[in-house]
Structure 1
Amino acid sequence: MSLQPLPKNATVAMLGAGISGLTFTYFLSKLRPDLSFQIFEKSNRPGGWMCSPRLLVSDSHESIILEKGPRTLRGVKNGSLFMIDILRNLNLHDEVEVIHKSSKANRKYITDAQGEIVQVPNSFTTAVDFFKRVQCLDGSLISGLIKEPFVKSSSHDETVEQFFRRRFGSTVLTENVASAIIHGVYAGDIGKLSIKSVMPFLKDIETQSGSVIKHVFKSMIKSKKPNKSPPSVELELYEKLISPQANLPTLQSNLKSFPMIKLKNGMETLPKYLAQYLEYNTNTEIHYDTPVNECDPKLGQVNGQSFDHIRSTINTHSLAQSIQSSDSLVSKLKGVSYVSIFLTNVYTKKPILLPKDKPGFGFLRPRHLSIENNAQALLGVIYDSDIENHVQSLFNKEKTTPSGEYNKITMMMGGHYYNHWNIPSNKLNLKIVLDVLQEKLNVDVSKYNLKIIEEGQELQVDSIGDDDIVVSCSLHRDCIPQYNLGYQELKQDVLDLVEKEHYKLSFGGTVFAEGIGVPDCVSNSFTDAVKLM
């Protein structure tokens, strides 16, 4: 979809005050100070799914961060660099914490078919244990690996599962390994997700090299030769237009040893202070507790007001509901599938939750052979306290002192599993949480006093003793769009329709853009802001 520059003193309606909406407003306001923005946010706070509330403990006056959404940024993506630069410009550089690639907190795990936690290989010893316990090689796969260079390429889209079966003659890798990775990103089903959408690099490899195996060997040979990567055009453009003093190549180089980035006071810190900056330093008004009830993308109207451009980062079903016509766009917006996540934060004062011999980032649960193998609908568990106790400041060279021996974890359940049954009640989900603690983490919950904070209740307890387990539950409905087979065609249909009908509308966030991760959303905000400048 081609976006056209906006006229002088134009007005922009932003739907949603999440990280996508706020960064888009930030970039475009830098590029076009003459523009004015109105942001419509249905909740009473900025940040969207970036939510870092604090658990208040009355007697000790403690304030414990409970991440309810994204908690780390993975990899050195351009969007991550942009976010760090924004934090520096907001004088929040001390918020940026990183985890070294050699840190214990960088170890990752999956569960085997019996539900036992197994470390993803990072050494010869862990590789031997992994291949012994996780079924990721069978006769069909060995035969398929030999035949793979001779498999005919296909330009057609297919599911992740279909791609691996066609190229390797087996789905053992997808069932027992790849599905776990997909659970951690999309909470989706490898039997439905589009390979072109979620793993486009594999289709690119097939197109360019004709074979994944051939490409791997070519890459191994090429990696032995010195290869200086060309500078990123996007980074150069960002420095030229937004932040001339950013020096992003140096920042990018410094981050290569740190595959994980987090914020000291929670990921919500960035959208919280960015929203304040926009309100006080740009022509921006943020309307909280204001859902989008009426939207006419042809006329550029939102809730009865007229705008030169509408930028939507909200759920497409909500957007469709606000369009008061039988517009063909409505049915297409409703065609996007979403999944819901039941997220549970668990906190203890003493280290009783995590396996002492397996520190790390956490574990993911593969799909394996059937949903009956995972009646708990468990997607994964994140070891928050291990992450928090192994960070160091990126800009402040003083060593960070570990916070203590407490344990904090986050459980993620649901996703595509909820498509097969109704979302369980909070009472049933709580029972499942306790089962996971008992079965996967070997915590005898009968020995402890449970303090349950259900969704909607105030995040506060009178005290936390050595024998207390604090549990905070929340259901995130329709929080992750699914790039299922047919999504690419749906996306192109929507973008073509918007362009053909001259709608005053563009899309940000995780739908009809490039990538589902937070850095991807931020990069997309910058790219589209440049087109509209």
Structure 2
Amino acid sequence: MLSQLIKLPTNAKVGVVGGGISGLTFTYFLGKLRPDVEITLFNPESRPGGWINSWDTHDKNNQPVMIERGPRTFRGVSDGTVMIMDSMLEMNKGDLIRSISKDSNADKKFIVDPKNKLVQVPNSFPTLMKFFFNPLSKGLFSGMITEWTRKPIDPQIKDESVLSLLTRRYGSSAIGRNLFSALYRGIYADDVGNLSAQKVVGKLYYDERKYGSITKGSISRWRNKSKKEDENKDKLSESVALYTRVFNKDENKIRALSKRLAQFPMLGLKGGLSQFPNAFKEAIVKLPNVSLLTDNVTSMNQSVKKDKMVLEYMTTNGNKSSSSKNSIKEFDHVRLAIAPNKISKLISRTNPKIKEKLDMINTNTVTLVNLFIPDKDIIPQKNNGFGYLIPESNNNPEKVLGVIFDSVIEKSFKPFIETKSPTTTLQSQAQNYTKLTAMVGGSLYNDANGKQHIPNEEQTIENVKSALQKHLGTSREDLDAGQWVYTVAKDCLPQFKIGYNDLTKSIEEDVINDYSSKVSLGGMGFSKGPGIPDVVADALIDATKLQ
């Protein structure tokens, strides 16, 4: 997200590269804010939404089934979620919104302990006590009560790994290698020894530097939060207030929506998360100032006079079998809503300085393996939850990061908007079925030199079967009878290594200076956080700067 963008001139032309969530929402927001601006969205993919992929297929009984081959839920407490859900309601898609309550099975999370047993992440006093008596909690209690006594870090040290910070502050690497490694493998598919503390655990990082300890910082923020809640209990967050103002929304309705969404830890959509990008694409198509092209952008450069940005792209006129040709188009502003490694390719011939920095951002690949059994629930009742994660301390030759229990999530969904008409699908009515997704690989695919080694489909599925037998006690017969789906999300996540914030800040400054504020960057690689709502909030903020 860039801070030095300038307002677009009247009747400007804007090119948006990438039809993932960042590109779609940026196009939608800017298209509505500036009806005079002509926007061209380039998305060569067959569907919108990037890695979001709700795949409709049929089971062995020829019954329809939806498989999530990417993300499946939103965070309830998030500015971006408020914007997404309000937009969906405005598009008359409110009947698709599903919520998960705090007391539902789907809000329970588990971690695999050294004996390959699933242990619930504490959400009550009994589960807290059970967790404290498990080896996963090693060093946690003693570390928490002594953290405030430890010497703060040298302020000259700008960044360190998450593992380094946790080990210093809590006196043991066990906390990082157990609880935190599992959590961040699930979010970033990376190792806590690689992840930047400044980027990933910013609150802990800045609390130590400001207050001398994480404990003191937490207490101070808790006190300030209590005061602010009393003073501003009905005040909207900064980005939601911005959204409300620029789109002339009813502040009371947005406030009520925000409070209601905050009641739910997670939200989903009937028919799968792809309903979200599909809805935004439908809305964009209706905007008279937006054009959608399926052409692939191959390079970006400045015009001779440096007053325009030039995109070169391959066009086939919608006919994949015909020979393609190069075309060019000039824009007053270009939004690059694609991954850093793809941006690098666009400017490889024209800006080696920025390309070199972009190439320093490595990526992780995650393989998603879905299992569907239409007539049997193989998830043990005691482990009914969102799923489980596997910490670094666990013996894990299968390289499985974690497993999501999709069928538990679907059975926990409730309509966000009450309706008299039936809301359950044939599949969700059939309680006796199993649907789950194993996340495999990430940093575990990488060797010491960072080179990826990805097993083939047969071996990966075999590894997942082995993990499920070990962790859930599932029989081989049930696993072999299931329907398996294999998806490789190649280079889907940036590696947020030590110094990531400084690196991306330097890239953004170079982009602003070299292209005279005529280029902006979007997507997960340049957003404040890793989630879909974070990307959406950043898209809104940058769109308003161009407004």
TM-score by length of 1: 0.91
- 2:400 match: 378
- 1:293 match: 298
**Structure 1 residues 443 and 135: CA distance shift in structure 2, 3 A:** closer
- How far is the alpha carbon of 1:159 from its aligned partner? 0.7
**What amino acid is the match of 2:173?**
T
- CA shift digits 1:225-269 (9 cap, x unpaired): 773444323222211212513722101111222111001111111
- How far is the alpha carbon of 1:400 from its aligned partner? 5.4
- 1:81 match: 82
- How far is the alpha carbon of 1:270 from its aligned partner? 1.4
Correspondence 1:46 to 2:59: no
Structure 2 stretches lacking a partner, 5+ long: 313-327
- 1:242 match: 247
- CA shift digits 1:396-438 (9 cap, x unpaired): 2559555222110011001111112511111211211221222
- 2:339 match: 315
**What amino acid is the match of 1:440?**
H
CA distance in structure 1 between the partners assigned to 2:23 and 2:336 by the alignment: 8
- 2:315 match: none
CA distance in structure 2 between the partners assigned to 1:142 and 1:57 by the alignment: 51
CA distance in structure 2 between the partners assigned to 1:386 and 1:415 by the alignment: 25
Task: Name which of 275, 283, 286 aligns with 2:281.
Answer: 275
Correspondence 1:479 to 2:492: yes
CA distance in structure 1 between the partners assigned to 2:147 and 2:522 by the alignment: 42
- 2:237 match: 232
CA distance in structure 1 between the partners assigned to 2:175 and 2:374 by the alignment: 39
Matches within 5 A, 1:351-362: 351-362=376-387
- 1:396 match: 418
**Structure 1 residues 220 and 293: CA distance shift in structure 2, 3 A:** closer
Q: Is the 8 A contact 1:174 1:190 kept in 2?
A: yes
CA distance in structure 1 between the partners assigned to 2:135 and 2:412 by the alignment: 28
Q: Secondary structure at the match of 1:54?
A: strand
- How far is the alpha carbon of 1:517 from its aligned partner? 0.5
Q: Secondary structure at the match of 1:88?
A: helix
Correspondence 1:469 to 2:487: no
- Of residues 69-78 and 222-231 in structure 1, the stretch that sits farther from structure 2 once superposed is 222-231
Correspondence 1:254 to 2:260: yes
**What amino acid is the match of 2:408?**
D
Q: Is the 8 A contact 1:144 1:170 kept in 2?
A: no
Q: Is the 8 A contact 2:97 2:415 kept in 1?
A: yes
- CA shift digits 1:319-375 (9 cap, x unpaired): 211222353111111111110001011111123431122211000111127xxx222
- 1:146 match: 146
Task: Name which of 506, 509, 513 aligns with 2:527.
Answer: 513
**Structure 1 residues 470 and 499: CA distance shift in structure 2, 3 A:** same
Identity, in percent, stands at 32
- How far is the alpha carbon of 1:448 from its aligned partner? 4.1
- How far is the alpha carbon of 1:207 from its aligned partner? 2.9
Q: Is the 8 A contact 2:404 2:437 kept in 1?
A: yes
**What amino acid is the match of 1:152?**
P
Q: Is the 8 A contact 1:391 1:400 kept in 2?
A: no
CA distance in structure 1 between the partners assigned to 2:105 and 2:405 by the alignment: 11
Q: Is the 8 A contact 1:108 1:361 kept in 2?
A: yes
**What amino acid is the match of 1:434?**
K
CA distance in structure 1 between the partners assigned to 2:59 and 2:94 by the alignment: 28
- CA shift digits 1:465-501 (9 cap, x unpaired): xxx3100011000001121102112111111111222
- How far is the alpha carbon of 1:176 from its aligned partner? 0.5
Task: Name which of 175, 178, 190 aligns with 2:192.
Answer: 190
**Structure 1 residues 363 and 28: CA distance shift in structure 2, 3 A:** same
Correspondence 1:158 to 2:160: yes
Q: Is the 8 A contact 2:370 2:437 kept in 1?
A: yes
CA distance in structure 1 between the partners assigned to 2:60 and 2:400 by the alignment: 32
**What amino acid is the match of 1:391?**
F
**Superposition CA RMSD, Å:** 2.1
Q: Is the 8 A contact 2:147 2:213 kept in 1?
A: no
**What amino acid is the match of 1:403?**
Q
CA distance in structure 2 between the partners assigned to 1:131 and 1:152 by the alignment: 27
Q: Is the 8 A contact 2:370 2:486 kept in 1?
A: yes
CA distance in structure 2 between the partners assigned to 1:291 and 1:390 by the alignment: 40
Q: Is the 8 A contact 2:150 2:169 kept in 1?
A: no
Task: Name which of 430, 439, 443 aligns with 1:412.
Answer: 439
**Structure 1 residues 47 and 138: CA distance shift in structure 2, 3 A:** closer
CA distance in structure 2 between the partners assigned to 1:389 and 1:326 by the alignment: 51
CA distance in structure 1 between the partners assigned to 2:64 and 2:50 by the alignment: 21
**Structure 1 residues 147 and 517: CA distance shift in structure 2, 3 A:** closer
- CA shift digits 1:260-285 (9 cap, x unpaired): 10011111111112112212223112
Q: Is the 8 A contact 1:40 1:292 kept in 2?
A: yes
- How far is the alpha carbon of 1:449 from its aligned partner? 7.5
**Structure 1 residues 228 and 44: CA distance shift in structure 2, 3 A:** same
Q: Is the 8 A contact 2:139 2:170 kept in 1?
A: no
TM-score by length of 2: 0.88
- How far is the alpha carbon of 1:76 from its aligned partner? 1.2
CA distance in structure 1 between the partners assigned to 2:284 and 2:223 by the alignment: 49
Structure 1 stretches lacking a partner, 5+ long: 451-467
- How far is the alpha carbon of 1:42 from its aligned partner? 2.5
Task: Name which of 318, 330, 340 aligns with 1:306.
Answer: 330
**What amino acid is the match of 1:175?**
R
CA distance in structure 2 between the partners assigned to 1:355 and 1:243 by the alignment: 49
CA distance in structure 1 between the partners assigned to 2:223 and 2:275 by the alignment: 44
Q: Is the 8 A contact 1:343 1:475 kept in 2?
A: yes
